[in-house]
Structure 1
Amino acid sequence: METDNSSTNPSIYHSQKIISCIINPAARDGQSIKTWEMVKDKIEKEGLATELFITERVGHASEIAYSLRNRSDIKVIVACGGDGTVHEVSSGLRGSKIPLAIIPAGTGNDVARVHGYISDDLDNIIDIIINGVDRNIGALRIEAEPMPKEENYPSPTADSKWNGTAKENNRIVRWIFHETDSGITSLVSRAKLKRGKWIKGNLKYTYLGITEILKWRKRNAWVKIDNDNPVIINFSLFVFTLSEYFGGGYWVAPGASPIKDHAYLCKAWNLTRLQMLLLMGPLRKGKHVGKWGITLDKCRTLEIKSVNQNNEPVDIAHDPSLPINVDGEPCLQTPARIEFHPKQLWLRGSKDVSWDVS
């Protein structure tokens, strides 16, 4: 699907009245609906009408957003939930002129943070929903193999109506509006689906991170970045991102901006288990680049394949698998091709964000 590439959002949407909210009722242990009710009351006092759509399953937010994308009476569509909900709504809206706003109600809330939303500050959130700046952000198109079902977490479906059709057999397409990562980070995300459910907050990620690092198994991979020659590496971690933060506040790409004509690739190859453990602190503070060969560069395409016993690239999944996070969801796996595309989604954020100084 082709998207509008104009640089300013049509003013017609600022004169419309309806604010539509797509809400994940399970977000923040069920508190998301109460949060929406408080936001709704204040919005309606400003003379704006609202409507609510409640998701019922994984992928439902994309279906709802896609059904709303061409309505002329909608001022803004609000995603109320975590980064997963924001991703789904963004996928359904990609290419629409209706902007997306956010009520952060998840664990990480990285997308909301990047665009100036302050969790639990209702005045900030409402001001952005009503008066925020609409920016046309880029996205990453990933084509990769789906991961299998894990307990109650389903294997992803093609959803070609809004994601498009894969060019390779046995692969599906997803669009990424924040970041994609793979390696030890995606194994942690996958582990979260079945372990550590009794631990709350960021402590869960620390616990899972340590346990996954301790049982890490080496995985070689064929990697091609932009027009560079492909290389065979001991795969540890990459983050291909449009924004500065990921993983609930880790400062992976200082200075990154989602409105540039490129994305950013942080790569960390050949790390030992000890280096993985020691990386967590510097990564949270944005002090990781330069350590143990870690780099951060502009990037537009990234391709990853597994290799056979002769270190030749093959189009089959890694064994053991190498999951890939898609805006925080560990739903895909190698082999994969990821491409940057500019100006894919209108996202409403704060008037003042550090990465938009124009």
Structure 2
Amino acid sequence: MRESFLFVINPNSGTTLGREAGQMATLLEKKAKEAGYEAECVITEAKGHATELAAVASAHKQFDTIVAVGGDGTVNEVARALLHSGTALGILPLGSGNGLARHLGIPLTLPAALDHLWKSVSVTIDSATLNFQPFFCVAGLGFDAYVSQLFGKQSQRGWDTYVKVSMKAYLDYLPQRLKIEGQDAEIFSLSFANAGQFGNNAWVAPHADLADGLLEVCTVTPFPKWFGTALAFQLFTKNLRTSTYVAYQSLTSLVVETKHPALVHYDGEPWQLETNRIEVNIVPQSLRVRG
């Protein structure tokens, strides 16, 4: 039997996909047929719909691979439905950051990403949870969560919007005091990295390995305002580890306690918690991915 694909298209991902979701579905079915595969496309209608669609398809073993067409939020919604199943996740990275796709080396243009998808093989990677919420790339709190919250409120997506939001957030943001495994700490940001980057080639943990059974915990301590440009340069050149304000630990789990219920993010999605306790865990060898 021919290999089969279900493409789950998020019309709200990226900068132009929403206007082209119908045309995208037609194109993907056509390209799959030309390549000798069976394919079906569905377009999501609301937040969480991608998870529902992927869960039903996986449970009925309808497709060999379910492909998230969108950004890291779409990837997260599809991937969580495929955890501990025999169905593989595919990615067509048409979002704003595309962190997991970039880590896996998936091309960012549609023709090249499709060619990669047809030729790729499935590998098994780790996932992780933050207060039982699955994530696959990076989660955290502090500055990055604040940026994620502001970015999510913007009517326009894309790199330019992300830069503007980050600059504004940097002027407003104040470091946080909390406890990490019972020890007092003051942080600018605290990241839990399964993959190496947030997206847009912002490499928070370039040494992260998706299949080593460990999370790379990156703690950025407060630094002088003037040093922000240098820290950003280190982030985008994979040199964050050289900073005196940055420390790493390789862990399987971590507990963080905050003074007030924390704002966090997971795979770029902001989440206001109702608890002061944050528990993060790695889930080894839990997801099949075409990478």
Q: Is the 8 A contact 2:192 2:216 kept in 1?
A: yes
2:236 is matched with which residue? 284
2:92 is matched with which residue? 103
Alignment counterpart, residue 302 of structure 1, candidates 254, 258, 261:
254
Find the residue that maps to 2:59 and give its secondary structure. coil
Q: Cα distance, 1:101 vs. partner?
A: 0.4
Whole-angstrom distance in 1 between the partners of 2:203 and 2:129: 23
2:4 is matched with which residue? 18
Find the residue that maps to 1:297 and give its secondary structure. strand
Alignment counterpart, residue 180 of structure 2, candidates 220, 223, 227:
223
Alignment counterpart, residue 52 of structure 2, candidates 57, 63, 82:
63
Whole-angstrom distance in 2 between the partners of 1:203 and 1:36: 27
Q: Cα distance, 1:48 vs. partner?
A: 1.9
Alignment counterpart, residue 184 of structure 2, candidates 225, 229, 232:
232
Please list the CA deviations of residues 282-340 of structure 1 after superposition, one character each: whole Å capped at 9, or x if unmatched. Answer: 11111121313312332211211124xxxxxxxx51xxxx4211111012445311011
> How is 1:204-215 mapped onto 2 (pairs within 5 angstroms)?
204-215=161-172
Percent identical residues = 24
> How is 1:21-32 mapped onto 2 (pairs within 5 angstroms)?
21-28=7-14, 29=16, 30=18, 31-32=20-21
1:177 is matched with which residue? 136
Whole-angstrom distance in 2 between the partners of 1:175 and 1:40: 30
Find the residue that maps to 1:251 and give its secondary structure. coil
Unaligned runs of 5+ in 2: none
Find the residue that maps to 2:56 and give its secondary structure. helix
Letter in 2 for 1:217: L
Q: Is the 8 A contact 1:210 1:277 kept in 2?
A: no
Q: Cα distance, 1:278 vs. partner?
A: 3.5
TM-score (ref. length: structure 2): 0.91
Q: Is the 8 A contact 1:252 1:283 kept in 2?
A: yes
2:128 is matched with which residue? 140
Alignment counterpart, residue 324 of structure 1, candidates 252, 255, 264:
264
Whole-angstrom distance in 1 between the partners of 2:144 and 2:102: 20
Cα 1:33–1:248, aligned 2, differ >3 Å: closer, same or farther? farther
Q: Cα distance, 1:268 vs. partner?
A: 0.8
Letter in 2 for 1:92: A
Find the residue that maps to 1:22 and give its secondary structure. strand
Q: Is the 8 A contact 1:243 1:253 kept in 2?
A: yes
Q: Is the 8 A contact 2:25 2:41 kept in 1?
A: no
User: Does 2:71 align with 1:85?
Assistant: no
Find the residue that maps to 2:144 and give its secondary structure. helix
Find the residue that maps to 1:27 and give its secondary structure. coil
Q: Cα distance, 1:255 vs. partner?
A: 2.7
Whole-angstrom distance in 1 between the partners of 2:220 and 2:177: 13
Whole-angstrom distance in 2 between the partners of 1:266 and 1:16: 44
Q: Is the 8 A contact 2:193 2:216 kept in 1?
A: yes
Letter in 2 for 1:213: Y
Q: Cα distance, 1:267 vs. partner?
A: 1.1
User: Does 2:90 align with 1:131?
Assistant: no
Find the residue that maps to 1:245 and give its secondary structure. coil
2:288 is matched with which residue? 346
Whole-angstrom distance in 2 between the partners of 1:84 and 1:34: 21
1:164 is matched with which residue? none
Q: Cα distance, 1:131 vs. partner?
A: 2.7
Find the residue that maps to 1:254 and give its secondary structure. coil
Whole-angstrom distance in 2 between the partners of 1:32 and 1:184: 33
Q: Cα distance, 1:216 vs. partner?
A: 1.7
Whole-angstrom distance in 1 between the partners of 2:42 and 2:28: 15
Task: Kindly tell me the number of residue pairs found equivalent between the two proteins.
Answer: 286
1:255 is matched with which residue? 207
Letter in 1 for 2:12: A
Whole-angstrom distance in 1 between the partners of 2:107 and 2:22: 18
Find the residue that maps to 1:207 and give its secondary structure. helix
Whole-angstrom distance in 2 between the partners of 1:284 and 1:115: 17
Unaligned runs of 5+ in 1: 1-14, 144-172, 225-229, 308-315, 350-358
